[in-house]
Amino acid sequence: MLLQDKKIAIIGGGPGGLTLARLLQLKGANVKVYERDFNREVRAQGATLDLHYESGLKALEEAGLMDAFNANYRPGADRLRILDENAEIFFDDHNDESTGNFGDEWFRPEIDRGPLRTILLDSLQPNTVVWNSHIVSLESINDSWKIVFENGETVVADIVIGADGARSKIRPFVTPIQPFYSGVTVLEGNIPDSEKNVPKIHNLLKGGKIMSFGDSKTISVSAKGDGSLDFYAGWKTNADWITESGIDFKNSKQVLEWFKKEYFKWDSVWLELFEFDNVTYTPRPLYCMPLDQKWEAQANITIIGDAAHLMPPYAGEGVNMAMLDALQLSESLTNGKFTDLKSAIADYEEEMFTRFAKKGKETMDNTEFMHSPEGLKKLLEMFQQFS
């Protein structure tokens, strides 16, 4: 076994890193996950996730976690309404009889990120995750890696796998390739108790999802199991808009004034999202890795998830790609087909490159057309084609 007597360090405790740890432990590997969060309760987990048959759900099935997923996913949360800027509904599947079920290619059940993380954490051996481990440096020592953390701790690992997201500290040790700006920035917010605080949007949402289009802009809204909602306003602007705008994103009145100017063609119903005072706003310029990226594999380090193939969220592939990375990497490392670690890692990376070239193009195409004057029309045509 390639991993016999090897110490594996996974940097990052998101869905990709935790799925990989679970899959490797099932094969008897010695794995630690180093996560920057102080503990498992310290940070509120973000958006609702839809898991796909061929990727996220496939990884959970291989990990033996489908029963736990079935007990925690949110039936009906995948119901979608597509609207224009005037809140006119053009597509609504809330009244359609559900024909999807597990095993169907187009069934994409939704689960909040927090419960998914809990499922994965609870599946690991005790003390697998080392909390409060924010990496600050990595040093190659012979055939191993010395990892230094902000809290002063150091560890030595035989294999390092970066699952540490868009600003990965591991990626520069794998490749110098940098992401490019997609041309779109989003402003993200969360509103607690949506029924009370934003009743108009809550009624439009009906416990599911909203995608709205107008004037080359978007607003997406998702209901969460705790009664809150997440929303994302997306529009085309330059990469430095966050600093150039001069907005204090902790000042809700400044954000509201910006929204009124930027989305002036949109119906007043959307103002409800920005008139609620107690919102923490997070602006995010959206980046994507080059679709033709490649590098030469190494024998003791690689990357998965956003660290490997960051892309915008407009195809719902992020978490699914990360979990499929975990599945494919675990198989390459443990299936017995390879006589050395470099060949096993190269096998995973070649599959990942090919998959990302396809999914990344789909994502960038979606990002472009959704933020065009024809965004609503093209999405409706896409749905009609699928149906």
Binding positions for FAD are 50, 113, 306
Residue 248 burial by Cβ neighbours in a 10 Å radius (0-12, 13-18, 19+): exposed
Distances (CA, A) of 365 to 54, 362, 380: 21, 5, 15
Annotated binding site: 43, 50, 113, 306
C-alpha dihedral sign at 52, 54, 56, 62: positive
Interatomic CA distance for residues 272 and 36, integer angstroms: 35
Tokens 């009743």 belong to which residue?
199
* Mode of pairing for the β-strands spanning 48-50 and 110-112: antiparallel
Question: What is the SS3 assignment for 98?
Answer: coil
- The answer to whether the beta carbons of residues 313 and 48 sit under 8 Å apart is no
Annotated binding site for NADPH: 43
C-alpha dihedral sign at 55, 26, 348, 7: positive
Interatomic CA distance for residues 143 and 195, integer angstroms: 56
Tokens 């290619």 belong to which residue?
105
